[in-house]
Amino acid sequence: MILKSQVEWALHCCAILAGLPEGRYLSTKALAELHGLPKEYLSKALQSLSQAALVDTTLGPSGGYRLARSSSEINFLDIVEAVEGKARSFTCTNIRENNPCRPAGYCDSKPCAVARIMWEADEAWRDTLRRVRLSDLVGILSEEVRPDLWQSTFEWVLKRAG
């Protein structure tokens, strides 16, 4: 059970977009260079963010991506689900129905108990991600990343933002 690497990419890209000044865009090319990622493939992850309406896009030179709403109104689950999908990590195939002792026409009143427990854990995972806002990440980074790197990165981005 491993998340796609695109999830990591999307989270880092959103953290960068969160630092963009109002109304400016950053291109796939710039985001790929900044993170050392394959441009074409990263583009797919960004398209997922776009389809989930987490980012706005614009075409042409000086085009690219920006957040569709403020970084305090976007949480980790939004981003993770945009890339990874909303399907639960545990899928119940109802193997209890294969029990040879089952009377014909036996009808279960509830979903399988095993599945319900696994889904509960899945919800706990989602709850944790839902509670962390993108702005929280930016806050942590701004404290932890050494000021010189923080600032030079910001300048690097601004130079390329349309």
Partner DNA sequence: GGAATTAAGGATATAGAATATCCGCAAAAC
Partner DNA sequence: GTTTTGCGGATATTCTATATCCTTAATTCC
Judged by the rule CB under 7 A, the positions of this chain that interact with DNA are 1-2, 4-6, 27-29, 38, 40-41, 43-44, 46-47, 50-51, 57-65
Q: How far is the CB of 150 from DNA (least distance, A)?
A: 23
d(CA 43, CA 46) in angstroms, rounded, equals 5
Q: Say which entry of DNA, a second copy, none residue 65 contacts (CB below 5 to 8 A, set by partner kind).
A: DNA
d(CA 62, CA 29) in angstroms, rounded, equals 11
Q: How far is the CB of 79 from DNA (least distance, A)?
A: 15
Rg, Å, the chain Cα set: 21
Q: Say which entry of DNA, a second copy, none residue 104 contacts (CB below 5 to 8 A, set by partner kind).
A: none
DSSP 158: H
18-20-26 Cα angle (round to 5)? 105
Residues forming the site for a second copy (CB under 8 A): 1-5, 7-9, 11-12, 15, 33-37, 76, 84, 87, 89-93, 95-103, 106, 109-110, 113-115, 117-118, 120-122, 124-129, 132, 137, 140-141, 144, 146, 148-149, 152-153, 156
Sequence-distant (≥ 6) Cβ neighbours of residue 125 within 8 angstroms: 89
Q: How far is the CB of 18 from DNA (least distance, A)?
A: 16
Q: Say which entry of a second copy, DNA, none residue 18 contacts (CB below 5 to 8 A, set by partner kind).
A: none
Reading phi first (left if > 0) and then psi (alpha if -120 to 50, else beta), residue 60 is in: left
